[in-house]
Amino acid sequence: MPKFIAIIIVVILFCSSGLFTYAQKRTELPIKSEAAVMLDADTGAVLYAKNPDERLYPASLTKIATAIYAIEKGDLNDIVTVSRNAAWTEGASVHLNEGERVPMKTLIQGMIINSGNDAAVAIAEHLDGSVDLFSKNLNEYLIKNIGVTETHFVNPNGLFDPNHYTTAWDLAKITNYAQKNPVFAEIFGMKEMKWTGQTWNATLVSHHLMLNGEILYSGITGGKTGYLDESRHTLATSANNGKMRLIVIEMMADRKKDGYKDTARLLDYGFSHFKHEELKEGESFKKGKKEFSTSAHTMITLPLNGKSKEVSNKGLLSVKDENGNTLQSIQLNPVKAHIKKEAAKPGLKFYKNMHLNAFYGVFGLLIAGAFIGKRRTKND
């Protein structure tokens, strides 16, 4: 499928759902990472964005896309035979051996928890026969299913290539989409696992310091790290405070601790400045003489201070923060004007007809009386 056709299909799908989100900077926060996005996982509203559309190298955050693609396309019970190419992949690994046979789900776990580059290649070759074909299919999948616009991957693990890039906004969408899959959410949230391999036995511990507990932050539900000289430190994090679920993407932090500090600062801001509100099905909004309504129950994200909702002449409901930035937009349905008909009541029609008939009857009698009187006068 040509790329532009796929993009058109995604746009149509988003339009039909009535929900749009816009990545733009919300407020001034001392974020040191080159790019960052925080969104509400339940509504898709973007609560903060810094350089969201800047093309950057994702490093191992690529594996989030590889994992959800593998979960949705493959069979988790498949037994994967590791090739020489996979076993000899450079960088972080789970020490796979050529010819080793490993369940697909186990490989996905090793890829996410221990950032195994070898596991990622084994997954790609099993699913599509080669890394090149896997990358082609992955890119099409991300466009069609998730709606990315500035992403192009050439491998399943994020090892550096100048043509392997994405944006903080696209990564936020990918992570949010993936988190809705229970299998991915389970693996993304694993702090550790026992690994029993052909040549390596170990307890794998998540590299994400907020997830594994080395950096304390309440409510962390998932995470993935990445690092390359060209990408610097990248970080994907999900958190839940019992009221909201947030996703934070950090890209190109010069120091590891900067990425975690940025993430904690954004989570603090998100949890303390926003809340949810549900619009009921059929809830109406007016713009001048025009009236619009929601087509279904819809959850929206509102700032605790300075919240506002505005409706355009075309029925686009925009939720804005205290600075006038659009958090979320929802396409409403126009309410057609109907001519009000008087409700039918028992005997009403008969009552009206009775009065009308009486009027015509009296009118007829008057004419008849006048006509008879005239004839009598002539006869006299």
Do 272 and 284 reside in the same domain of the chain?
no
Do 301 and 208 reside in the same domain of the chain?
no
231: annotated active-site residue: no
Per the DSSP assignment, residues forming a β-bridge with 303 are 274
pLDDT for 379: 38
> Which residues constitute the domain of residue 155?
22-276
Do 190 and 152 reside in the same domain of the chain?
yes
Q: Is residue 16 in a domain?
A: no
63: annotated active-site residue: yes
Do 194 and 296 reside in the same domain of the chain?
no
Q: What does the pLDDT profile of the chain (380 residues) look like in tens digits? A: 444 444 443 333 333 333 444 434 456 799 999 999 999 999 999 999 999 999 999 999 999 999 999 999 999 999 999 999 999 999 999 999 999 999 999 999 999 999 999 999 999 999 999 999 999 999 999 999 999 999 999 999 999 999 999 999 999 999 999 999 999 999 999 999 999 999 999 999 999 999 999 999 999 999 999 999 999 999 999 999 999 999 999 999 999 999 999 999 999 999 999 999 999 999 999 999 899 999 999 999 999 886 678 899 999 999 888 778 888 889 999 997 553 444 444 443 433 444 444 444 444 544 445 544 444 433 33
Among residues 93, 115, 238, 318, which one is catalytic? 115
pLDDT for 307: 65
Among residues 60, 83, 231, 318, which one is catalytic? 60
60: annotated active-site residue: yes
Do 198 and 292 reside in the same domain of the chain?
no
Among residues 50, 63, 173, 261, which one is catalytic? 63
Do 292 and 238 reside in the same domain of the chain?
no
Do 92 and 119 reside in the same domain of the chain?
yes
Do 137 and 218 reside in the same domain of the chain?
yes
Give the count of domains, the chain.
Answer: 2
Do 196 and 100 reside in the same domain of the chain?
yes
pLDDT for 309: 86
